[in-house]
Amino acid sequence: MSTTIDSRTGALIVVDVQRDFCPGGALPVPEGDQVVPAINRILGLGGWLTVATRDWHPQDHCSFAPQGGIWPVHCVAGTPGAAFHPGLHAMKIRQIISKARTRDAEAYSGFQGTELAALLKGQGIRRAFVCGLATDYCVKATALDARREGFDVVVLEDAIRGVEVHPGDCAKAMDEMAAAGITFAKTADLAA
Ligand code: VGL
Ligand code: ZN
């Protein structure tokens, strides 16, 4: 089924496609790098608002193991691991949203503590297409918040990958998103 993008009211949100979340990085998502070609294809679809979120932590962030958190140190602001995957066509991204930038606040959602909702609403966006990493954390949280903010949300299922800390986490995330009224599409089925 083909989905037509209205470039005036549709926006692409690319979640956390950063080196540390790809194989070889500090918190690698299995096959995380495999979302890049699909995302590059739709970044070039033309004319629409493209936004990328990035995890942008201080070096002593509360989510890190040395602080008692559950994650290895990752995506420290300004370090190579926090950079976008080198294959991502970053020049086609119009806005960058940095999140979880203070020591004491975790933010899986790109909407949490950021100007993302205001940015989208200010541009007249009604529908958000969400892709990136990781399905069971930041993609899920960002897509659910987009729904809560009142957007139609389409998750691009071939352009996401999950961490799967516990087996079944990704399937559960997909169920939660569907239950919230989020729909799914494949990047190949998007047309401008
Ligand atoms: C993420 C774990 C910790 C994500 C960020 O981008 O999904 N996951 N920080
Ligand atoms: Zn993080």
Could you confirm whether 138 is annotated as catalytic?
A: yes
Q: Would the CB of 14 count as within 6 Å of ligand 1? A: no
Domain spans of the chain? 3-191
8 — pLDDT class (breaks 50, 70, 90) = very high
Query: Catalytic: which of 55, 138, 140, 145?
Result: 138
Question: Is 134 touching ligand 1 by the criterion CB < 6 Å?
Answer: yes
Check whether the bond before 105 is cis (ω within 30° of 0).
no
pLDDT score of 67? 97
Confidence (pLDDT) at 95: 98
Report the run of H or E that residue 10 belongs to, with start and end.
Answer: strand 10-15
pLDDT of residue 169: 98
**Residue 16 is among the residues annotated as catalytic for this protein:** yes
Ligand 1 geometric centre to CA of 144 (Å): 15
Whether domain 3-191 has CATH 3.90.1150.10: no
Are the C-beta atoms of 41 and 167 separated by less than 8 Å? no
For residues 52-70, give the mean pLDDT.
Answer: 98
| Mutation test residue for ligand 1: of 108, 109, 142, the one with most atoms within 8 Å of CB | 108
Q: What is the pLDDT of residues 110-152, one digit of tens each?
A: 999 999 999 999 999 999 999 999 999 999 999 999 999 999 9
Q: What is the pLDDT of residue 104?
A: 97
For the entire predicted model, the pTM comes to: 0.98
The pLDDT of residue 1: 72
Consecutive H or E run containing 172 = helix 169-179
What's the whole-number average pLDDT of the chain? 97
123 φ/ψ sector (left φ>0, alpha ψ -120 to 50, else beta): alpha
pLDDT digits (tens, 9 = 90+) for 166-186: 999 999 999 999 999 999 999
Contact 185, 154 (CB under 8 A): yes
Q: In a 10 Å sphere around its CB, with 0-12 CB exposed, 13-18 middle and 19+ buried, how is residue 118 labelled?
A: exposed
pLDDT at 46: 78
By most ligand atoms within 8 Å of CB, the mutation choice from 13, 74, 84, 99 for ligand 1 is 74
Check if 20 has its Cβ closer than 6 Å to any atom of ligand 1: no
d(C-alpha 49, C-alpha 165), whole Å: 32
Gap between the Cα atoms of 178 and 108, Å rounded? 19
